[in-house]
Amino acid sequence: MKNPDLHLTEEFFCVTKAHKEKLNNHVAYVLWLTGLSASGKSTVARKLEYKLFLEGIRTIILDGDNTRLGINKDLDFSDGGRKENIRRVAEIAKLMVENGNVVIASFISPFEADRQLAKEIIGEQLFIEIFVDASLETCVKRDPKGLYALASAGKIENFTGISSPYRMPKKPHIHLDTNLKSIDESVAEVLTYLLIQAKIK
């Protein structure tokens, strides 16, 4: 792939993704967790990573708050800011998955178009979409950071579920109903999918 305007050419390396997967003894995917704030995404991501670690699987978590505090700290929460946030994260995830890692990306990512963009950047065959589904009522009751209260009081703008919409995935690979299922049950469901459907090992 070339970009003649910038005089750039994509480099290819001797050690490929397939080589690294063979060394790791597992295949690499991006697990994209989407859902409302307080739906359980980060908790599922942490426990899932721990379970995969115990199985000898190389993992990396990309978390919405952490990237907003670092590489994406210059972005706001407008629709354009959200789009660029997801684009950058998807490019990072692509680099990591190409290096043989299982990437667990935990992002609200409220818009279908932005999730589709992430899938296109990463590659459809490497992208597993996980909808961490909790109702707005459930999330407001949990509200561990007090964000819904602040948003409802007008102190946070463009807050998903209050002043900005969340568009649910139409056909996620995995649908976790965290209104009803515990975190452990949700993690077990993802692990079953990875072992049986995705054949991660």
Q: Tell me what pLDDT residue 33 has.
A: 98
Q: Would you say residue 67 lies in a domain?
A: yes
φ/ψ of 56, rounded to 5, equals 80, 20
Question: Residue 162 domain-assigned?
Answer: no
Give a yes or no: residue 22 inside a domain.
Answer: no
Residue 113: pLDDT band (50, 70, 90) is: very high
Mark whether 109 is an active-site residue: yes
Mean of the pLDDT values across residues 181-199?
96
In a domain, 138, yes or no: no
CATH number of the structural domain spanning residue 174: 3.40.50.300
What is the count of structural domains for the chain?
1
Q: What is the mean pLDDT of residues 129-139?
A: 97
| DSSP secondary structure code for residue 2 in this structure | E
Average pLDDT, the chain: 95
The boundaries of the domain holding residue 97 are 27-133+167-196
Residues whose CB is less than 8 angstroms from the CB of residue 21 and which lie 6 or more positions away in sequence, other chains included:
27, 28, 100
H or E stretch at 63: strand 59-63
Q: Is residue 16 part of a domain?
A: no
Does residue 7 lie in a domain region?
Answer: no
> Does residue 142 fall inside a structural domain?
no
pTM: 0.94
Tell me if 187 is assigned to some domain: yes
Residue of 42, 106, 109, 186 marked catalytic? 109
**DSSP E strand boundaries for 86-190:** 102-106, 127-133, 174-177
Cα–Cα distance list, 133 to 60, 176, 194 (Å): 22, 6, 19
Please say if the pLDDT value at position 162 is more than 90. yes
